[in-house]
Chains A and B, each alone.
Chain A
Amino acid sequence: MSGRRVVITGVGVTAPGGVGSGNFWNLLSEGRTATRGITFFDSSQFRSRVAAEADFDPEEHGLSTQEIRRMDRAAQMAVVTAREAVADSGLDLTALDPYRTGVTIGSAVGATMGLDEEYRVVSDSGRLDLVDHTYAVPHLYNYLVPSSFSAEVAWAVGAEGPATVVSTGCTSGLDSVGHAVELIREGSTDVMVAGASDAPISPITLACFDAIKATTPRNDDPEHASRPFDGTRNGFVLGEGSAVFVLEELESARRRGAHIYAEIAGYASRCNAFHMTGLRPDGTEMAEAITVALDEARMNGDAIDYINAHGSGTKQNDRHETAAFKKSLGDHAYRTPVSSIKSMVGHSLGAIGSIEIAASVLAMKHNVVPPTANLHTPDPECDLDYVPLTAREHRTDAVLTVGSGFGGFQSAMVLARPERSLA
């Protein structure tokens, strides 16, 4: 089965600023931000009180009352988003061998919202060490083990091939799709419904990131709080959302005349083996992942037209990945637009890698590079072209998108037009 190439033929996005890939692209191309003061709960006790919340109503998107009850918000978003992707692909999955369709969903923190709420109930707001099972909801097990996300998506789309959740922290959204690509390439499946979903805007997540001062305390200016590569940045803004794709083998996609967004030409993941949360400024392991992904794509770094950065808006990240781009692409890094959509949609942990893949293929579709919002005062140590403030028309045939996360995971993916010449 070697030689099988994998393409994206369907895209679904649920992100802050709007449900659906159309709304998502409008937000990005207009350079608007969807970060705001937290409305989900009273956040007054927290250091960082800003988030990019999605205005997502599961009922409005066709989920039944029972489905809504049994699913954590992240699972709800995954199902709605997967349905959009399948509809967009024009593929009739019910007409295919269900064993040849698989599901991978990435999530960093699983059913955190559901677990936080249910813990509060069974522990009587933390008063009980021996929490009370008589107050537990029947679907609590689905929160305990987030593979329930993939189960819900598999049921929703009728897939009966390999299904799993990929959970590698903040690179989950890239690694989930990368995993799906490997399954098609090796011949285990022909179609994958692959993406990621996270809904981490809950008190426990805020408390975690407060404790390590990873999130921004820019509470008085929430619309401009996510400031990747800006000298005044001071932490990331938590987000939520989902992006899901339909992946197919290139030749069968061509045979059925599918719209092909991009080929997933190369993917690699490496570990820094250094620290669970810290990054060394040299970006060595991310550079290694980029180099391997380019090799797999049989492309030279010079062929990259746009870099969709991790760009979380922490000082250590922004410098780490700037170094990684220079190390892997050399001078071409200075000539290539680089931007972080986290400036607009925040950092949705395990979901963002897939949301950034969606941004990348939409950039290819429109030949427009989304901007880095809120970038007014560049950090002198970050000296690349970060596309400040406004989107740019730019011929985009190949995109590098990267992720970096807790646990030391560094991932890179190369998206390109399948008709390109192979080096």
Chain B
Amino acid sequence: MTTPRVVVTGLGIAAPNGLGTEEYWAATRAGKTGISRITRFDPAQYPAKLAGEVPGFSAADHLPSRLLAQTDHMTRLALVATDWALEDAGVDPKALPEYSMGVVTASSSGGFEFGQGELQKLWSQGSQHVSAYQSFAWFYAVNSGQISIRNGMKGPSGVVVSDQAGGLDALAQARRQIRKGTALIVSGSIDASICPWGWVAQLAGGRLSTSEAADRAYLPFDEAAAGHVPGEGGAILILEDEQAALARGAEVYGEIAGYGATFDPAPGSGREPGLRKAIEVALADAGVDASDVDVVFADAAAVPELDRIEAEAINAVFGPQGVPVTAPKTMTGRLYSGAAPLDVATALLAIREGLIPATTHVEPDPGHDLDLVCGQPRTSDLRTALILARGHGGFNAALVVRAA
């Protein structure tokens, strides 16, 4: 029995530099940033003041009011991105058998802004003021649940939480379910916790840039790297069994060809971090050699030590300057579990157009010895891309996508 190939047939993007695939890709090609001073609350009192906020999103234009009352901002984005992804794939879920479709998303912090509002009511007004919706608007499973309900999807579903690596873990789990026989899985992630409570929790992680200049704040692989700018959003992808997709005449973006995940050794063990191994597992899983990979989308932590670890892992596999590396997330900020699905979507768009989007504003530190695509996008014949994602605490994930 041959393992069925799993392909991406639809994209739904909500990114700080563009809402919708067309707007996002145009902005990304042009090097347009979505990072600016926070508008969702007044950040004046906090050491970090910049974020990537999704512009121009009016949930009421897309969703019924009963859903608005019970959902966090990130769930609304996820529901709308799912609608777009299904439309892009040419799929009408109502017309498909309900058990043949599932939903596998990643989350990092759930509906945290909604949670802040209800915690405030609890502690300032009393428990009887807490919303009946709090029981599910905050928890991590909310997006998979709401997407399945809105679209009548009853097949195998799930939710993974592995900080920023989770976005790739979700796509891998979606692929697993398709290989086991489910025809279509809605996957990816939309994340957001740009509210004061989420901001304070992110600040506690100690990795946020305190720069107030949008073009100097998030500089991975630069000698001036000093933390990241957080963002919100991500991408929802429609994954299908290739045969089923071709049978219905779907347009295919590319194949989810390989995946590997590891966890870093305990601090102080002296053992090598796990990213290199994750890359090697993903390449072997895809059946490709390092020389087959045309571009790497880096995790791009912009913390000097973490940049060094990533550069060393890439160089260990591909050799110094051995493969073009890029981090278009310099235009969006780090989107937590939404980041990697957006990178996968970007990689698929890059393959389609033969264009590697640039890492903006970065002057690469020669010490990393990476062929970082900076300044202008680079025209290149692309067939195979590797996407990397790491989560706080030591989660490493690598995913290979390949032209259809």
Q: Which of A107-155 contact B (CB under 8 A)?
A: 107-110, 115-116, 119-120, 122-123, 125-127, 129-133, 136-148, 150-151, 154-155
- How many Å from the CB of A39 to the closest CB on chain B? 18
Q: Does A37 contact B (CB under 8 A)?
A: no
Chain A residues lying within 8 Å of B200, measured Cβ to Cβ, are 122, 131-133, 136, 140
Q: Pick the residue among A166, A273, A407 that contacts B154 (CB under 8 A).
A: A273
Q: How large is the interface on B (under 10, 10 to 19, 20 to 34, 35 or more residues)?
A: 35 or more
The A/B interface has a contact count, at CB < 8 Å, of: 280
Contact A179 B123 (CB under 8 A): no
- How many Å from the CB of B256 to the closest CB on chain A? 14
Chain B residues lying within 8 Å of A186, measured Cβ to Cβ, are 176
* Stretch touching chain B among A208-216, A250-258, A359-367: A208-216
Contact A276 B70 (CB under 8 A): yes
Q: Once the chains are docked, how many angstroms separate the CA of A206 from the CA of B119?
A: 12
Chain B residues lying within 8 Å of A125, measured Cβ to Cβ, are 123-124
Contact A204 B261 (CB under 8 A): no
Chain A residues lying within 8 Å of B263, measured Cβ to Cβ, are 102-103, 150-151, 154, 159-163
Q: Once the chains are docked, how many angstroms separate the CA of A212 from the CA of B395?
A: 36
Chain A residues lying within 8 Å of B145, measured Cβ to Cβ, are 169, 271, 276, 406-409
Contact B139 A99 (CB under 8 A): no
- How many Å from the CB of A344 to the closest CB on chain B? 24
- How many Å from the CB of A338 to the closest CB on chain B? 24
Chain A residues lying within 8 Å of B146, measured Cβ to Cβ, are 276, 407
Q: Pick the residue among B116, B196, B206, B392 that contacts A145 (CB under 8 A).
A: B392
Q: Once the chains are docked, how many angstroms separate the CA of A131 from the CA of B42?
A: 11
Contact A119 B197 (CB under 8 A): yes
Q: Once the chains are docked, how many angstroms separate the CA of A131 from the CA of B158?
A: 33
Contact B124 A204 (CB under 8 A): no
Contact A210 B141 (CB under 8 A): no
Q: A45-B126, A130-B45 are contacts. A146–B161 as well, Cβ < 8 Å?
A: yes
Chain A residues lying within 8 Å of B140, measured Cβ to Cβ, are 108, 110, 146, 167
Contact A98 B265 (CB under 8 A): yes
Q: A139-B204, A144-B202 are contacts. A165–B262 as well, Cβ < 8 Å?
A: no
Q: Does A207 contact B (CB under 8 A)?
A: yes
Q: Does B264 contact A (CB under 8 A)?
A: yes
Chain B residues lying within 8 Å of A61, measured Cβ to Cβ, are none
Chain A residues lying within 8 Å of B318, measured Cβ to Cβ, are none
Chain A residues lying within 8 Å of B128, measured Cβ to Cβ, are 45, 207, 210-211
Q: A99-B277, A161-B261, A285-B154 are contacts. A167–B141 as well, Cβ < 8 Å?
A: yes
> Please, which residue of chain B has its CB at the minimum distance from the CB of A109?
B139
Q: Does A274 contact B (CB under 8 A)?
A: yes
Q: Does B135 contact A (CB under 8 A)?
A: yes
Q: Does B213 contact A (CB under 8 A)?
A: no
Q: Does B295 contact A (CB under 8 A)?
A: no
Contact B110 A126 (CB under 8 A): no
Q: Once the chains are docked, how many angstroms separate the CA of A166 from the CA of B169?
A: 11
Chain A residues lying within 8 Å of B197, measured Cβ to Cβ, are 119, 122-123, 131
Contact A136 B203 (CB under 8 A): yes
Q: Once the chains are docked, how many angstroms separate the CA of A44 from the CA of B112?
A: 27
Extra contacts besides A145-B161, A167-B140, A276-B145 (15): CB < 8 Å: A120-B119, A139-B204, A140-B205, A141-B205, A148-B392, A155-B267, A158-B265, A172-B141, A203-B123, A211-B131, A211-B134, A271-B149, A273-B153, A407-B136, A407-B145
B residues contacting A by CB (< 8 A) are 1, 41-42, 45-47, 70, 98-99, 102-103, 107-110, 112, 115-116, 118-128, 130-132, 134-136, 138-142, 144-146, 148-149, 151-163, 166, 169, 173, 176, 193, 196-206, 261-267, 271, 274, 277, 281, 336, 391-395
- Report 25 cross-chain contacts, Cβ distance below 8 Å, ordered by A residue: A120-B119, A123-B120, A133-B46, A136-B204, A137-B204, A139-B204, A140-B205, A144-B198, A145-B108, A147-B163, A151-B394, A159-B263, A162-B262, A164-B169, A164-B395, A203-B127, A207-B130, A207-B134, A210-B130, A270-B99, A273-B149, A274-B149, A276-B145, A288-B99, A409-B157
